Amino acid sequence: MFWRSFPPPARFLAIVAAGSLILILFRSAPEQTADQMQLWTFARNHMLLYEPLIKSWNRDHQPPLKAHLFSGPALERRVLSGFLSGTPTASLIEFERSAVNATFLGPREAIGWTDLTEPIKRDGLDELIVENSFAPWTHNGRIYGLPHDVHPVLLAYRADIIEAAGIDLSQVETWDDYFEALRPLMQDRDGDGHPDHAALSFRLSSGDIENFLLQAGGGLIDVNGEPMLTSPINARVLAHLVIWSSGPAPVTIEAPEFSNSGNSLRLQGRVLGSLMPDWLAGVWKSDLPQLGGKLKLMPLPAWEKGGRRTTVMGGTMLGIPKANDRFGESWKAAKTLYLSEETAVQQFLTTNIITPVKQFWDLPVFSQPDPYFSGQASGQLFIAQAPQTPPRHPSPYLQMARSRVGEAALALRQYARDQDAWTVEALRPVAEELLEQQQARVVREMSRNHFRRIQEVADR
């Protein structure tokens, strides 16, 4: 057993730490009794959506299912401590992409989720659901979560401002086309020293960068869970992003989501375009109702003609812990919550999130004109791009890889400023060198993983 490979003092300290953590975290945790199943989630809107389905389930099934809502960090701590100790958590747990990576740190036998690969294939769900929706929950070729979503990304743009200027975006194919089309609006007509409008909301941070790397065919983690920072695609994209955001004629502006400053810039019309996953469309409808009827959606401009016109942001899964002794009932409940027509319809109506279940895409709700997006059928626009979403692969080192790419981007920006070098040809070789350095740092950190070293020996 991998546990015995630790020296006794380390085992003792780990047991004491884990025990203390469990006592603290589970002192007020809802206890799952023998006559009840529980669903744990971090999303209030999900919980409200599931309430009628759970009531219906409880009328026809035993034991009954009860839902509990946690904050994201609290849910993550409870689940990780439960997995570490092997103690029961809940029958069903919704987990977000940024949190799930930590659950894959150890060897396969230490993963706390039930392997769903065979049930998914047996029930034909691999054909029913968009293929790449499984990728964030697939580790070493095994699937550990049922996808809640697809989260394709479109470009939301200020149609009122752009069309009033006589600009037609229908012929735009690439990012170069997009920025060139909007150049007339990116002038300083009020004399304040800044362009009156920026073509795109973008911040040179790790999260925003990853969205563009994925669209271009690059990324941070490959299908084998290994870092891929040194992909030539990543270097090219990084050079472009530095020039877009920091060059002598920047075309982007920082307008962070979920912030007063970002929302203010959008309401003022300073931001002409924003990356828009389906879930964010629902957020804007709630938080920025003043923009209703002023926006339109279009596929993302591609990095090159014929390239991918979307990316992907966010994601949630429904998992079944190994310590659950009611797999059969839990699996049926999971399919009821995630795969029903009622869920597909209500989820879109309340959150603007499209279902990953392809057979429901022809439902009338997805073809209804959306007043917020100037009468466009937003559902069908997101659905059209869903099959093209890029795959994302999990790794306990994903957040580290994100941070390292962010550091490389900032270093590249500083180089560009110091050398006054603002062309892709000048910055790309430097980007490659910086990414190689950051890749080495991630690999070095991964090599310290005790479980990884054991697996490497076993694979020889």
Task: Please report, for the chain, the start and end positions of each structural domain, with discontinuous segments joined by +.
Answer: 2-150+314-388, 153-311+393-446
Cα angle, residue 257 at apex, residues 253 and 262 outer, rounded to 5°: 50
Q: Is 274 helix (H, G, I), strand (E, B) or coil?
A: strand
What is the pLDDT at residue 24?
40
Per-residue pLDDT of the chain (460 residues; tens, 9 = 90+): 333 333 333 333 343 344 444 444 444 456 666 678 999 999 999 999 999 999 999 999 989 999 999 999 999 999 999 998 878 899 999 999 989 999 998 888 889 999 999 999 999 999 999 999 999 999 999 999 999 999 999 999 999 999 999 999 999 999 999 999 999 999 888 777 778 899 999 999 778 999 999 999 999 999 999 999 999 999 999 999 999 999 999 999 999 999 999 999 999 999 999 999 999 999 999 999 999 999 999 999 999 999 999 999 999 999 999 988 899 999 999 999 999 999 999 999 999 999 999 999 999 999 999 999 999 999 999 999 999 999 999 999 999 999 999 999 999 999 999 999 999 999 999 999 999 999 999 999 999 876 665 455 444 4
Cα angle, residue 429 at apex, residues 424 and 432 outer, rounded to 5°: 110
CATH 3.40.190.10 is right for the domain spanning 153-311+393-446: yes
Query: Do β-strands 316-319 and 142-143 pair in parallel, antiparallel, or remain unpaired?
Result: unpaired
Shortest CA distance to 158 belongs to which of 322, 272, 297, 42? Answer: 272
What is the pLDDT at residue 33?
62
Residue written as tokens 């904050």? 71
Rounded Cα gap, residues 14 and 20, in angstroms: 10
What is the pLDDT at residue 273?
98
Copy the structure tokens of residue 136. Answer: 């964030």
Whole-model pTM: value is: 0.90
Shortest CA distance to 353 belongs to which of 366, 363, 342, 362? Answer: 366
What is the pLDDT at residue 291?
98
What is the pLDDT at residue 321?
96
Q: Residue 155 in contact with residue 295, Cβ under 8 Å?
A: no
Q: Residue 210 in contact with residue 382, Cβ under 8 Å?
A: no
Rounded Cα gap, residues 358 and 306, in angstroms: 24
Q: Using alpha carbons only, how large is the chain's radius of gyration in Å?
A: 24
Copy the structure tokens of residue 50. Answer: 């599931």
What is the fold of 2-150+314-388?
D-Maltodextrin-Binding Protein; domain 2 (3.40.190)
> What dihedral angle (degrees, nearest 10) is formed by the CA atoms of 335, 341, 342, 346?
110
In this chain, the answer to whether the domains covering 2-150+314-388 and 153-311+393-446 adopt an identical fold is yes
